[in-house]
Amino acid sequence: MNRRTLMIAALLALAGLPVAAGETAKVSMDRNLFTPQHLKIKPGTTVQWVNDEKRTSHSVFFEAEGLAESDRLFPGETWSRSFDKPGKYPYRCGPHPEMTGIIDVAP
């Protein structure tokens, strides 16, 4: 996927519009927030979390699903997960439990 496509996906996400299947949507980790905090996507979309902090590390932890926490992401690092089934997927940062987000997968 090229940079322009990623940019479009990011803009759609910020506008609250669903990202098309097969695309990659970005969630930024910055100032102890996931942005967008509520991301709507189509089934088949990959979400890529990017640590945009200057020095703080974060993780992505789908605790409610009983999944393992991601590795700790240092500034500039990324972690991805694909979503095939419709549903709401809440998650949080491992070291910062108050830092939460939700992936909303709907056709």
Is 72 a residue that touches Cu ion (CB under 5 A)? no
Q: Does a cis peptide bond (omega within 30 degrees of 0) precede residue 97?
A: no
Tokens of 13: 């996400």
Site for Cu ion in 50-69 (CB under 5 A): 58
Site for Cu ion in 88-107 (CB under 5 A): 93, 96, 99
Binding-residue total with Cu ion (CB under 5 A): 4
The least CB distance from residue 40 to Cu ion, in Å, is 22
- Contact in structure between 71 and 78 (CB atoms under 8 Å): no
Rounded distance, CA 8 to CA 17, Å? 11
Q: Give whichever of 42 and 72 is closer to Cu ion, judged by the CB atom.
A: 72
The least CB distance from residue 58 to Cu ion, in Å, is 3
The least CB distance from residue 93 to Cu ion, in Å, is 3
Rounded distance, CA 44 to CA 53, Å? 28
Helix, strand or coil for residue 90?
strand
Binding residues for Cu ion, per CB under 5 A? 58, 93, 96, 99
